[in-house]
């Protein structure tokens, strides 16, 4: 009986390790595939909103963009709170970065979302996508929220997948990307 339990645990452990390895490789492949295709932001089809009287309404052409996309399945008020924190805490720390917030919503909810946005006082512009044009222009963006936050350059190439401020390691990677971009421009 004891041998059978040990043998079962060995097989189970092996399967878990095998599955985890395959899952990890699959995720790496998904990230690699995602990063190999440029991202197009159809600004002309998005409704641009300024949420604060302190918003800078001049067009920004910074070489690094941090994109924060909210799909229609997300808790929009929750995401607006996160966007507010990012904008308030990180925008001034990274003046060379353009923060792009895109919210995919139904036309029926535009007024409610705009009210929440104006109360948030986000200083970066927020783009409302009522036509689903961002995903239509980028069908390679997966449903997983992991692929809804990314950093890209002015050539629309994805440099980093994930929210740069989610962990210290991610933020350090982000800082390294900024340094590399700055030295490449010089």
DSSP count for the chain of H helices, then E strands: 5, 6
Residue 121's pLDDT band (boundaries 50, 70, 90)? confident
By three-state DSSP, how is residue 93 classified? coil
Scanning the structure block, which residue is given the tokens 């452990």?
Answer: 13
Q: What is the pTM of this model?
A: 0.80
pLDDT, mean of residues 26-55: 84
Of 51 and 12, the one with more pLDDT: 51
pLDDT, mean of residues 51-77: 77
Longest dimension (CA), the chain: 74
Q: Is the pLDDT reported for residue 169 higher than 70?
A: yes
Q: How many CB atoms lie within 10 A of CB 127?
A: 21
pLDDT of residue 24: 64
Pure H helices in 121-167: 133-137
- 149 within 8 A of 163, measured Cβ to Cβ: yes
């Amino acid at each position: 009986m004891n041998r059978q339990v040990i043998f079962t645990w060995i097989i189970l452990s092996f399967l878990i390790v095998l599955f985890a390895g395959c899952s990890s490789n699959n995720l790496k492949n998904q990230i690699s595939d995602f990063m190999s295709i440029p991202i197009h932001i159809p600004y002309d089809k998005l409704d641009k909103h300024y949420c604060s009287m302190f918003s800078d309404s001049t067009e920004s052409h910074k070489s690094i963009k941090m994109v924060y996309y909210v799909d229609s399945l997300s808790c929009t008020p929750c995401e607006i709170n996160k966007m507010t924190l990012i904008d308030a805490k990180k925008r001034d720390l990274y003046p060379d970065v353009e923060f792009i917030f895109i919210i995919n919503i139904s036309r029926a909810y535009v007024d409610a979302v705009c009210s929440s946005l104006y109360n948030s006082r986000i200083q970066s512009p927020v783009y409302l996508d009522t036509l689903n044009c961002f995903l239509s222009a980028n069908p390679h963006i997966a449903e997983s929220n992991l692929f809804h936050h990314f950093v890209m350059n002015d050539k629309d190439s994805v440099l980093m997948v994930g929210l740069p401020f989610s962990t210290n390691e991610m933020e350090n990677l982000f800082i390294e990307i900024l340094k590399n971009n700055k030295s490449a421009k010089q």
